[in-house]
Chain A
Amino acid sequence: QKEVEQNSGPLSVPEGAIASLNCTYSDRGSQSFFWYRQYSGKSPELIMSIYSNGDKEDGRFTAQLNKASQYVSLLIRDSQPSDSATYLCALRDNYGQNFVFGPGTRLSVLP
Chain B
Amino acid sequence: DTEVTQTPKHLVMGMTNKKSLKCEQHMGHRAMYWYKQKAKKPPELMFVYSYEKLSINESVPSRFSPECPNSSLLNLHLHALQPEDSALYLCASSRLVENEQFFGPGTRLTVL
> Interface of A with B (CB < 8 Å)?
32, 34, 42-46, 49, 88, 92, 96-104
> Interface of B with A (CB < 8 Å)?
33, 41-43, 45, 48, 55, 88, 90, 97-98, 100-106
CA distance A88 to B37 in the complex (A): 13
Determine whether the beta carbon of B45 is less than 8 Å from that of A43: no
Determine whether the beta carbon of A96 is less than 8 Å from that of B90: no
Determine whether the beta carbon of B101 is less than 8 Å from that of A103: no
Tell me, rounded to whole Å, the shortest Cβ–Cβ distance linking B56 to chain A. 11
Contact among B42, B98, B100, B103 for A43, CB-based, below 8 A:
B103
Instruction: For B102, give the chain A residue with the smallest CB separation.
Output: A46
CA distance A45 to B90 in the complex (A): 12
Determine whether the beta carbon of B101 is less than 8 Å from that of A101: no
Contact among B43, B97, B100, B106 for A49, CB-based, below 8 A:
B100
Instruction: For A31, give the chain B residue with the smallest CB separation.
Output: B98
Which A residues touch B33, using CB under 8 A?
Answer: 99
Determine whether the beta carbon of B42 is less than 8 Å from that of A97: no
Determine whether the beta carbon of B98 is less than 8 Å from that of A99: no
Which of the listed residues B33, B43, B55, B102 has the most CB atoms from chain A within 10 Å of its own CB?
B43
Q: 5 tightest A-B contacts by CB?
A: A101-B42, A43-B103, A49-B100, A43-B106, A44-B103
CA distance A100 to B33 in the complex (A): 13
With A34-B101, A100-B45 known, 11 other A-B pairs at CB within 8 A are: A32-B100, A43-B104, A43-B105, A44-B43, A46-B101, A46-B102, A46-B103, A88-B43, A96-B98, A97-B55, A102-B42
Known contacts A43-B90, A99-B33; is-contact A88 B101 (Cβ 8 Å):
no
Which B residues touch A104, using CB under 8 A?
Answer: 42
Tell me, rounded to whole Å, the shortest Cβ–Cβ distance linking A89 to chain B. 9
Tell me, rounded to whole Å, the shortest Cβ–Cβ distance linking A48 to chain B. 9
Tell me, rounded to whole Å, the shortest Cβ–Cβ distance linking A92 to chain B. 7
Determine whether the beta carbon of A103 is less than 8 Å from that of B42: yes
